[in-house]
Chains A and B, each alone.
Chain A
Amino acid sequence: MTDLTKLKISEARDALRKGDVSSVELTEACLAAIDKADALGAFVHKTPDVAMDQAKSADDRIKAGGAPDLCGIPLGIKDLFCTKGVPSQAASAILNGFKPEYESTVTSQLFDAGSVMLGKLNMDEFAMGSSNETSTYGNAINPWRRGNDDTALTPGGSSGGSASAVAADLCLGATGTDTGGSIRQPAAFTGITGIKPTYGRCSRWGIVAFASSLDQAGPMTKDVRDAAIMLEAMCGHDPKDSTSADLAVPNFEAMLTGDIKGKTIGIPREYRMDGMPDEIEALWAEGRKMLEDAGAVIKDISLPHTKYALPAYYVIAPAEASSNLARYDGVRYGHRAKLAQGDGITEMYEKTRAEGFGPEVQRRVMVGTYVLSAGFYDAYYNRARKVRTLIKKDFEDVFAQGVDAILTPATPSSAFELGKEHTDPVEMYLNDVFTVTVNLAGLPGISVPAGLDKQGLPLGLQLIGRPWEEGDLLNTAYALEQAAGFVAKPTQWW
């Protein structure tokens, strides 16, 4: 078989069962592709030995029969997931050298299902960023280019390495995490599929915490079917995460019928932003038409508090981050600054954190500290949490009116250039304008590639679903995927 790395998870699953290919062959093909793709900066810690051991076991298990769907499938793992004995540093210098003694619940579940870890993937430091430029490892690069122009473009962030690796066929799928859009925005920038499930679907145990009330893990894959297969393996109740839901996980793949007749799709008027490129507007209108042609009922809806989602997010997420990141103190793991004669413990904390955290992380930790400090807690933090209640209510109201899913653009632009001077951090925050509402409301959201812009770069559409109804959401996404017929791939230059 040629081009093994181009296989989708569903195709590889079937080929493995027929004996057309072994997991060892698939894994070797991916490892070879990864070694040729250093220019993409996607894989930051390669784990070929782990991968080959897992692949051999997977082949035995498949031969024995009854192996799970993901058995033998080579995956990439975002650096935010703690993987036992393998560097896991959230792309931060403050976790230099950290090798966890334990395995995150999500990766445990993936490995128990027989999947193979090829290595750890690049990301923004502590998942704080929308371009993968805050990583201590350097940039991840988008495999897509503007035609023949060799300007390096961002794969998005924070799951930039995951997006780049899947789009470039270095692995069959990858894990991502999403706090404000970190799965869906990079998926849209690289022409792949990414789903953030309902808050509580996936255990957060062993995933380096950014903003605990917003963080969720999810799969990044080559199509919707693969997302369904991989998501099912990642979900489930975990006694070690008290916010993980004790709900049965359905067979998501079995729910992909493509039949959305009679479903009501909401189009929120507040997502029509000033200055939004015509191409995004046109793609959104096309998506609306595609779902209508597939038999859905289209309904114009209003989510009145949409414009306050980003400012609320930039209070709540930094507040939680300042608290979560207090643990990086140079005592228990990672970096400790060299101390001068006479330095005490406070100097150790201050120097360690100044050296170990990059500028964006420092900025967010300090903003979080400020909004939680005495005298400002009510004015900022409590107000933001009240606005969050209103944002969630906006969604509850439209769901109560019979809306099954909501269609929006995934991002306000296609992939942008790396290395542009970002003088105003707020400008970068605007990347999350369409995705961040979903995290604040705890809802499932999926980005599906739906077209190319005139520069030849992929664009995505986002579907937002009802809580816990990922199966229904994936089915609507499947219908959209079939109608959009997106098959373009980046031309290999790396």
Chain B
Amino acid sequence: MSIDIETAARVAKLARIRVEDDALPALAQEFSNILGFIEQLNEVDVEGVEPMVSVEPMRLKRRKDGVTDGGMQDKILSNAPDAREGFFAVPKVVE
């Protein structure tokens, strides 16, 4: 399957990665190569096969839905590029 430039731009947008316009043709070509490789999967008869959910048949452990940790605001914020007054700071979200 061949990926066109508009599709490449749309995928970049969905992935929230800025790709300059002049880089889009090369990106589209790379996607086409990779997807061409992946298309081999169409040769496989998967009729009636369940998609794998968990590689080892284990029941996930459950625990009581309770607070087990907390009260470490300073640690949570210690790596933030911009933290103010106990919050993460970001550019304006709503106009």
Task: Check B92 for interface membership: any CB of A closer than 8 A.
Answer: yes
* Chain B interface residues (CB < 8 Å from chain A): 3, 7-8, 11-12, 14-19, 27, 30-31, 33-35, 37-44, 46, 49-56, 58, 60-61, 63, 72, 75-76, 78-82, 88, 90-93
Contacts of B39 in A (CB 8 A): 311
Q: Which of B38, B56, B88 has the most CB of A within 10 A?
A: B38
* Chain A interface residues (CB < 8 Å from chain B): 97-101, 198-200, 213, 239, 242-243, 245-246, 305, 307-308, 310-312, 314-315, 322, 326, 329-336, 339, 343-351, 353-354, 357, 362-363, 365-371, 373, 380, 382-390, 392, 424-426, 429, 440-442, 467
Contacts of A311 in B (CB 8 A): 37-41
CB distance from A369 to the nearest CB of B (A): 4
Within the assembled complex, what's the spacing in Å between the Cα atoms of A138 and B17? 23
Beta-carbon contact of A99 and B79 below 8 Å: yes
Closest 9 CB pairs of A and B: A442-B55, A385-B51, A336-B81, A333-B79, A350-B18, A386-B46, A354-B18, A101-B75, A349-B16
Using known A-B contacts A242-B61, A322-B15, determine if residue A388 contacts B52 with beta carbons closer than 8 Å: yes
CB distance from A343 to the nearest CB of B (A): 6
Beta-carbon contact of A363 and B50 below 8 Å: no
Beta-carbon contact of B49 and A442 below 8 Å: no
Contacts of B75 in A (CB 8 A): 101
Q: Which of B34, B37, B43, B76 has the most CB of A within 10 A?
A: B34
| A383 CB contact (under 8 Å) in B14, B16, B46, B56 | B46
Beta-carbon contact of B31 and A370 below 8 Å: yes
Beta-carbon contact of A314 and B34 below 8 Å: yes
Within the assembled complex, what's the spacing in Å between the Cα atoms of A86 and B49? 46
Contacts of B42 in A (CB 8 A): 383
Contacts of A310 in B (CB 8 A): 37
Contacts of B37 in A (CB 8 A): 310-311, 314, 426, 429
Beta-carbon contact of B17 and A354 below 8 Å: yes
Within the assembled complex, what's the spacing in Å between the Cα atoms of A467 and B54? 14
| Known contacts A199-B56, A425-B33; 5 further A-B pairs (Cβ under 8 A) | A245-B58, A331-B90, A370-B11, A380-B38, A383-B44
Using known A-B contacts A245-B58, A388-B52, determine if residue A329 contacts B91 with beta carbons closer than 8 Å: no
Beta-carbon contact of A239 and B63 below 8 Å: yes
Within the assembled complex, what's the spacing in Å between the Cα atoms of A308 and B46? 12
Residue of B with least CB distance to A355:
B18
Contacts of B58 in A (CB 8 A): 200, 243, 245
Contacts of A380 in B (CB 8 A): 38, 41
Beta-carbon contact of B90 and A348 below 8 Å: yes
Beta-carbon contact of A330 and B60 below 8 Å: no
Pairs A–B under 8 Å by Cβ, sample size 7: A200-B58, A314-B34, A322-B15, A332-B88, A349-B16, A385-B52, A388-B51
Beta-carbon contact of A353 and B44 below 8 Å: no
Beta-carbon contact of A390 and B46 below 8 Å: yes
Residue of A with least CB distance to B82:
A336
Contacts of A368 in B (CB 8 A): 15
CB distance from B22 to the nearest CB of A (A): 14
Beta-carbon contact of B51 and A382 below 8 Å: yes
Within the assembled complex, what's the spacing in Å between the Cα atoms of A332 and B81? 7
